[in-house]
Amino acid sequence: MIASLERGDHANNFCRATGGESVTLDLLKEKTAEFAKERNWDQFHSPRNLLLALVGEVGELSEIFQWRGEVAKGLSDWKEEDKVHLGEELSDVLLYLVRLSDICGIDLGKAALRKVGLNAIKYPAASKGSSEQT
Ligand X SMILES: Nc1ccn([C@H]2C[C@H](O)[C@@H](COP(=O)(O)OP(=O)(O)OP(=O)(O)O)O2)c(=O)n1
Query: Where do contacts with ligand X occur on this chain (CB under 6 A)?
Result: 35-36, 41, 44, 60, 92, 95-96
- Shortest distance in whole angstroms from residue 20 CB to ligand X: 21
Cβ pair 134, 123 in contact under 8 A: yes
Nearer to ligand X, 85 or 109 (CB): 85
95: nearest Cα among 42, 41, 27: 27
Nearest distance, CB of residue 15 and ligand X, angstroms: 14
**Which is closer to ligand X, CB of 92 or CB of 107?**
92
- Least separation in angstroms between residue 82's CB and ligand X is 14
Shorter beta-carbon distance to ligand X: residue 89 or 123? 89
Nearest C-alpha neighbor of 104 from the set 28, 25, 32, 46: 46
Q: How far apart are CA 86 and CA 116, in angstroms?
A: 25
Nearer to ligand X, 35 or 65 (CB): 35
Least Cβ distance, residue 44 to ligand X (angstroms): 5
Q: What is the 3-state secondary structure (H, E, C) of 24-79?
A: CHHHHHHHHHHHHHHCCCCCCCCHHHHHHHHHHHHHHHHHHHCCCCCCCHHHCCCC
